Amino acid sequence: MVSGANGGQRERLFRGLGSVLVVLYALFPVAWIVSLSLKRSADLDDRRFVPQVFSMEHYQSVFNDPQFSAALWNSVGIAGIATVAAVLLGMFAAYAIVRLEFPGRRLILVAALAIAMFPPVSIIGPLFNMWRTLGLYDTWPGLILPYMTFTLPLAIWTLSAFFREIPWDLDKAARVDGATPLQAFVHVILPLAVPGVFTAAILVFMFAWNDFLFVISLTSTNNARTVPAAIAFFTGSSQFQQPTGSIAAASVVVTVPVILVVLLFQRRIVAGLTAGAVKG
């Protein structure tokens, strides 16, 4: 920006200071939980920000805890399958919405938007009752279904926004050459659509990885309990020991993938977040 270049020394200093403060503010609680996880059990109560002695004992106890391993596996599996399912269904719908003329096109987008605003607490009661009847309570599909549904709007909106940017003449050319719409989709459009699909997948995965309400309402054992529930209900190795260290270590373990994804794909994530909101 022109104004940034000729701004005064003081303004630049102010801005630099502001940037440092924002970064500190954003990363501070993360640093705090990392620090807690590295303290020895005896030092947990020292109320210091930085550990006096670094120790891996909480990580060892967390990885030796069958409850946590099960939760980690459930989280990865359930969020992974929900992501694939939501992106796949979202892709079909977004393709139809962007590419094909049909009645009800706008209705689908509006319905998706309505679901994005929907309060999950309004349906946990019925789902709880339905899942118990159908045998889905405390199972993987019992969580995959709501995750997939609640992220479909996100997938459809993000994918539609990305699909609109694709040069569709290529698709027409393929169809003129005798390809069916489906062939045109798989061979011409899909390769161009990969960035958008990837963005949608990241956002969907983050939702499923983060959910707490559905998992504590629709599961009761290690069968399908995911990490957020495991962290909230950690019981520690003995009943009398407060499991602060284990909670901190488990929190760090599940935050590492998030930070990696953010570092690697920050531009995609931001593009996906703002795709629906900014473009008219």
Instruction: Name the segment binding another protein (CB under 8 A); options: 59-67, 85-93, 170-178, 192-200.
Output: 85-93
72 binds another protein (CB under 8 A): no
Between CA 257 and CA 265, with CA 259 as vertex, the angle to 5 degrees is: 95
Among 77, 141, 181, 236, binds another protein (CB under 8 A): 181
Q: How far is the CB of 168 from another protein (least distance, A)?
A: 12
Binders in 16-55 for another protein, by CB under 8 A: 16, 18-19, 22-23, 25-27, 29-30, 32-33, 36, 44-45, 47-49
206 binds another protein (CB under 8 A): yes
Q: How far is the CB of 66 from another protein (least distance, A)?
A: 20
Among 81, 84, 124, 192, binds another protein (CB under 8 A): 124
Between CA 73 and CA 207, with CA 260 as vertex, the angle to 5 degrees is: 55
Q: 211: phi > 0 → left, psi -120 to 50 → alpha, else beta; which?
A: beta
> Hey, what are 203's tokens?
């956002």
How long is the chain?
A: 280
Among 40, 80, 128, 195, binds another protein (CB under 8 A): 128
Q: Which is nearer to another protein, 48 or 173 (CB)?
A: 48
Q: Which is nearer to another protein, 89 or 179 (CB)?
A: 89
Instruction: Name the segment binding another protein (CB under 8 A); options: 56-64, 108-116, 170-178, 193-201.
Output: 108-116
Q: What DSSP assignment string belongs to 216-241?
A: HHH--STTT--HHHHHHT---SSTTS
Q: Give me the phi and psi of 50, to 5 degrees please.
A: -110, 135
Q: How far is the CB of 105 from another protein (least distance, A)?
A: 7
Nearest one of 36, 276, 25 to 164, comparing CA atoms:
276
- CA atoms of 200 and 155, how far apart (whole Å): 5
Residue 96 CB partners (closer than 8 Å, separation 6+): 102, 105
Q: How far is the CB of 165 from another protein (least distance, A)?
A: 12
223 binds another protein (CB under 8 A): no
